[in-house]
Amino acid sequence: MKGKALVKNRFFVGLFLLVVFLVVNSLILIKKENFNDLQFVDKIGLKGFLTFGKTSKDITKLPFPLSQSLVNSNLFHKFRFKSFKQYSKKDLTYDLSFDDKYCEEMVSDRELSISRDKLLPVDFEILQRNIYSNTFYKKLLEEAVHKHKSKIPIKKQWLRFGGSSVWLHDLQVHYMVSRLIFSPSGVPNKGIFSFLYVQIFDENWNELFQTLKVPEIVRIKQEGYTNDGFNDDVLLKTKLSSQNLQFPMILPIQFEYVLDSPYWGPEDPRIVKRNNPIFGFEEPVIVFNMKGIKLPNRVMYIYTPYSHDIKPLVKKDHSYASTEKNWTPFFSNQYLNADGKGTSKLNFLYSLKPLEVLTCDIDTAICEFVQKVEKDNINHFGSLRGGTQLESLPLNDILPENLRIKFPLGRQVYVGFARTHLNRCGCGESMYRPNLFLLIEDIDEGTGKSFFKIGEVSDFLDFDVQLPPWPKPELDDNGKLIETKLSVCDDKYRSVLIPNSIAYWDINSIKYKGINYPRDQFKQLSESVDSIDDVEFDDYLGVTLSAADSDVRIVHVKGLLNYIMNEPTLFDKKDVVQYDFLLKLSTDFNERCSEMASKEYCVAYGKANPPIISEEEKKKQEEEKQKQKDEKEKEEKEQKEKEQKEKDEKEQKEKEQKEKEQKEKEEKEKAKQEGSKDQGKEGHDESKGQSKDDSKDQVKEESKDKPENKDNQDSNHKNNPEN
């Protein structure tokens, strides 16, 4: 018996030692910086599970979000753009009206280093398996396929874009959520259903197909009323467990739908991360918009994947707009817990133009405005709209105190990429492009009230991305998809590049007096730095983008932190807003200038990318052109004939008028001549009568004189013998 017991004990001791040996060796391997020889579930799953719920004090030893091979590569090139600061003049008054000339005073030429964009595709076969493994999704898709009977390939009916990502230090992965659309027509803006698709990527931005062990928060609730009087489940207890998740995956979010209308399910996801205020580990928080049957409007929702908790966000004391979307999430240090590590409050830029800010409780989903503009139309939103989440500058515990940028007391600066939507501005039916902007929060230390303003906003940024055209599926007589060549500025479609997230932002190294100091030497460096003005940060930021609502891509930006450090207005105490009336002096001139510059970009882009015309379309256009030419020539001919006719008629009338006038003149002359003749005849007759009378008188006179003459003659004859 003793021998058997000894053997048994030795067996268990050996087994115990073997387990200890394996655990110790695993831990040793995990602590190594190079994890290439480990399986992913060990490399990330085990390490992540061992560390979640604990915050590492030495952040400098955590892996950098971007691999050193990418950092050290010739991946980056210079990228120039324009940016517009706040308008700040001494004579700034309430009634100051905008003038284009102010833009010249506010504009700055900026330069950053950016990488080439990298596409982040999906594996269609895995996607299909994931979507049909969910009973609810399988049922509604089968119904939709049966109803719509699409003739295009099934692969063309699935579209994925809007990828929003965060870097999870605990798990050492980029956690990305995208919008997945089922559209029988193949057109992105005519989708029937939307789903949320989650992928994970390593520091090289290669997708990982593995299982992760992640936290699971179990909330025990009972029906009741919240502190605000809302009828809702009351949280009794929160427990921490773990769960194994296979990536990629479809988030299990059920939704209402009606097959006869489109756009059901979660849309436009945005993601932020927080330290869980109870357990301390990093936790992704996802927000999206969704319409339903019970709620009359499309509203915003908040979802925490570690607890599977989903709620619609409610604006306290304010009605829903007809469509609630484009809320820009960000965390403010103002709402951090006493230990400074976690928060239960999430802020939103509700509107950028005009600037309005909400703060929402993550647990209750109740939101209150902390900055609100009174407007007649609650559905009014300007052309500058939400894009990525906002991120604070990466000046966290990784940097010693004396290496952090010093803003005025109570000031926080956030960075984000919005987007401007312009219609018919020179490129296609409409154009969407990102705009870099800075949001400034000034907190009144006495009242705790926050005042927000846009500190700077750029013109259109395209990150040198070669955009794909916006296609419209066309089928031939056999139901086969026709591949057509399109321009990114086709008149029928949109030209779209939308920013989705700031995937990460961190400092890789610091240059001081010509020497580069890596992350693990920051503390050593801080002891020798006299002035932060002599420090140059080697920081990297990743921005995810979607082009033509058909893909997801990543672009890396280098040097943004240095760019911000060189903006003097951010450090000017006189620029701090601590009263409501000062906000009226913080005009939106920079946003107006940005929109003007964006329109100039749009026109130039449209000229550089004219629509592509097919031979058939070209023939139609030529025929139409010839038709228009013929019609024009016909109109010109008719016009000439009309003009000639009018001219002839005019000349004829003039001729007739002249003839009439000539005739009248001749008649007058004739009449005049005849009148003169008659007058002459009468005068002749009178003269003749007078002559007769004179003759008669003469005869009479002669008759009287004849005897006397006869006597004289006789006398003369008598007296002259010759006679």
Over residues 258-270, the pLDDT tens digits come to 988 899 999 999 9
Q: Is 380 helix (H, G, I), strand (E, B) or coil?
A: coil
Which of residues 63 and 376 earns the better pLDDT score? Answer: 63
Cα atoms in the 13 Å half-sphere on the side-chain side of 624: 6
Give Cβ neighbours of residue 526 (< 8 Å, ≥ 6 apart): 399, 400, 401, 402, 403
Query: What is the rounded distance in angstroms from the CA atom of residue 179 to the CA atom of residue 163?
Result: 7
What token pair was written down for 718? Answer: 């008598």
DSSP-derived secondary structure letter, 36: T
Which of residues 99 and 686 earns the better pLDDT score? Answer: 99
Query: What is the rounded distance in angstroms from the CA atom of residue 29 to the CA atom of residue 42?
Result: 9
Is the pLDDT score of 56 beyond 60? no
Query: What is the rounded distance in angstroms from the CA atom of residue 720 to the CA atom of residue 723?
Result: 6
Compute CA 197 distance to the chain's CA centroid, rounded to the nearest angstrom: 23
Average pLDDT over residues 306-319: 92
Residue 255, amino acid = F
Give Cβ neighbours of residue 91 (< 8 Å, ≥ 6 apart): none
Average pLDDT over residues 635-643: 88
* Burial state string for 572-582 with b = 16 or more CB within 10 A and e = fewer than 16: eeebbbeeeee
Residue where the block lists tokens 């058909």: 550
Average pLDDT over residues 240-249: 94
pLDDT the model gives residue 53: 38
pLDDT band at 47 (very low <50, low <70, confident <90, very high): very low
Average pLDDT over residues 154-171: 94
pLDDT the model gives residue 712: 44
What token pair was written down for 503? Answer: 């995937």
What token pair was written down for 683? Answer: 């005068």
Q: Which of 450, 428, 468, 659 is nearest to 550 (CA)?
A: 468
Query: What is the rounded distance in angstroms from the CA atom of residue 460 to the CA atom of residue 657?
Result: 71
Torsion angle, CA of 539/540/543/547, rounded to 10 degrees?
130
Q: What percent of the chain has pLDDT over 90?
A: 44
Average pLDDT over residues 303-327: 92
pLDDT the model gives residue 407: 87
Is the pLDDT score of 542 beyond 70? yes
pLDDT band at 297 (very low <50, low <70, confident <90, very high): confident
Per residue in 482-536, pLDDT (tens digit) is 777 788 898 888 899 999 999 999 999 999 988 899 988 888 888 788 878 888 9
Which of residues 618 and 384 earns the better pLDDT score? Answer: 384
Q: Is 709 helix (H, G, I), strand (E, B) or coil?
A: helix
pLDDT the model gives residue 322: 86
pLDDT the model gives residue 540: 97
Residue 36, amino acid = N
Give Cβ neighbours of residue 152 (< 8 Å, ≥ 6 apart): 184, 185, 186, 473, 475, 479, 481
Q: Which of 526, 545, 345 is nearest to 460 (CA)?
A: 545
Average pLDDT over residues 185-209: 93
Is the pLDDT score of 92 beyond 60? no
pLDDT the model gives residue 1: 46
Cα atoms in the 13 Å half-sphere on the side-chain side of 223: 0
pLDDT the model gives residue 158: 94
Is the pLDDT score of 583 beyond 90? no
What token pair was written down for 182? Answer: 């089922």
What token pair was written down for 312? Answer: 């619609």
Where residue 280 falls (left for φ over 0; alpha for ψ -120 to 50; beta otherwise) is left
Strand pairing class (494-512; 430-443): parallel
Is the pLDDT score of 464 beyond 50? yes
Residue where the block lists tokens 């030529």: 622
Query: What is the rounded distance in angstroms from the CA atom of residue 475 to the CA atom of residue 150?
Result: 11
Mean pLDDT of the chain: 81
Pair 182, 144: CB distance under 8 Å: yes
Taking residue 437's Cβ as centre, other Cβ atoms within 10 Å add up to 25
pLDDT band at 690 (very low <50, low <70, confident <90, very high): low
Query: What is the rounded distance in angstroms from the CA atom of residue 202 to the CA atom of residue 69?
Result: 13
Pair 453, 586: CB distance under 8 Å: yes
Q: Which of 220-229, 284-293, 395-404, 586-595 has the lowest mean pLDDT?
A: 220-229
pLDDT the model gives residue 63: 81
pLDDT band at 144 (very low <50, low <70, confident <90, very high): very high
Query: What is the rounded distance in angstroms from the CA atom of residue 394 to the CA atom of residue 62?
Result: 15
Please name the residue ranges forming H helices in 450-529: 522-526
Query: What is the rounded distance in angstroms from the CA atom of residue 253 to the CA atom of residue 405?
Result: 42
Detail the DSSP E strand segments found in 14-62: none
Q: Which of 25-29, 125-129, 574-578 has the lowest mean pLDDT?
A: 25-29
Give Cβ neighbours of residue 466 (< 8 Å, ≥ 6 apart): none
Query: What is the rounded distance in angstroms from the CA atom of residue 496 to the CA atom of residue 117?
Result: 15
Average pLDDT over residues 550-558: 96
pLDDT the model gives residue 7: 43
Using a 10 angstrom Cβ sphere, with 0-12 exposed, 13-18 middle and 19 or more buried, the burial of residue 369 is: middle
pLDDT the model gives residue 560: 96
Give the best-scoring range by mean pLDDT among 134-143, 405-414, 531-540: 134-143
Query: What is the rounded distance in angstroms from the CA atom of residue 358 to the CA atom of residue 374?
Result: 14
pLDDT the model gives residue 129: 92
Q: Which of 74-78, 148-152, 285-289, 548-552 has the lowest mean pLDDT?
A: 148-152
Is the pLDDT score of 662 beyond 80? yes
pLDDT the model gives residue 687: 53
pLDDT band at 109 (very low <50, low <70, confident <90, very high): very high
Residue where the block lists tokens 């908790």: 309
Query: What is the rounded distance in angstroms from the CA atom of residue 547 to the CA atom of residue 307?
Result: 32
Strand pairing class (249-250; 193-201): antiparallel
Detail the DSSP E strand segments found in 424-552: 430-443, 450-458, 474-475, 481-482, 494-512, 515-518, 535-547
Is the pLDDT score of 185 beyond 70? yes
Which of residues 235 and 400 earns the better pLDDT score? Answer: 400
Give Cβ neighbours of residue 385 (< 8 Å, ≥ 6 apart): 326, 352, 418, 419, 420, 421
Average pLDDT over residues 642-646: 88
Which residues are bridge partners to 298 per DSSP?
323
Q: Which of 506, 507, 501 is nearest to 555 (CA)?
A: 501
Q: Which of 416, 283, 284, 409 is nearest to 348 (CA)?
A: 416
Q: What are the percentages of helix, strand and coil residues in the chain, rounded to 5?
A: 35, 30, 35
For residue 549, which phi and psi values (nearest 5 degrees)?
A: 50, 40
Query: What is the rounded distance in angstroms from the CA atom of residue 356 to the CA atom of residue 380?
Result: 12
Is the pLDDT score of 624 beyond 50? yes
Give the best-scoring range by mean pLDDT among 92-106, 338-352, 567-581, 683-697: 338-352
